[in-house]
Amino acid sequence: MGDLSGDERPEIVVPSYDGLMRAYSPDGEELWAYEFNGPMSSFVGASGAVIADLNGDGSPEVLFTTYAMADDRSHLIILGAGGALLQKVPIALRGSMSPPTVGDVDGDGQLDILISLKDTLGAGLGGVQLWTVPGAGTGCVLWSTGRGNPARTGRAQ
């Protein structure tokens, strides 16, 4: 949930098993749908969405990950507030079922995107990927994790 339209009312962004990520107004009207799976030759699912202003321009972006049964079909997807694709970045192996977390992980003043993967990367590398978002402003996270806070209770702290 987050204010995608600038009207100070939270829109709801949710994935579905038909391969679409959809945004709804607070009144339940579908605003847009983004097809994350393409031609459904095999199952690709999506995490919950996270809404954050990644570049500090005052307009939020929608981030989510995809996951698959087969390797090399998964992505970190970043959409504009209107549902247009901004970035589609491959993520390792079978991807991530968990929503990305956005925050300044290392205290350098730039936002980072943290993804917990379904699989380890091998060679003792664990199953986490971390990206720094160049040019991100400070204090622009609207809803920093898929469930609202580190305890994942669904409530903003």
65-103 tens-digit pLDDT: 999 887 677 889 999 999 999 999 888 888 888 899 898
Among 53, 49, 59, 52, residue whose Cα is nearest residue 82: 59
The boundaries of the domain holding residue 64 are: 12-99
Q: Which residues contact 130 (CB under 8 A, 6 or more apart)?
A: 105, 112, 113, 114, 115
**Is residue 139 pLDDT above 80, yes or no?**
no
Predicted confidence at residue 126, as pLDDT, reads 60
Q: Which of 38-47, 88-97, 122-131 has the lowest mean pLDDT?
A: 122-131
Residue 138's pLDDT is 46
pLDDT at 34 over 90: yes
Give yes or no for residue 41 having a pLDDT over 70: no
Is the whole-model pTM more than 0.75?
A: yes
Alpha helices in the chain, H assignment, sequence order? none
Total count of domains within the chain: 1
Examine residue 57 and state whether it is found in any structural domain, yes or no: yes
Higher-pLDDT residue of 103 and 119 is 103
Among the ranges 8-17, 36-45, 94-103, which has the highest mean pLDDT value? Answer: 8-17
Assess if residue 135 is contained within a domain.
Answer: no
pLDDT at site 116: 85
Is 44 a domain residue? yes
In a domain, 33, yes or no: yes
- Rounded-to-integer distance, Cα 80 and Cα 60, Å: 7
155 token code pair: 């409530």
Whether 132 is covered by a domain: the verdict is no
Residue 142 lies in a domain: no
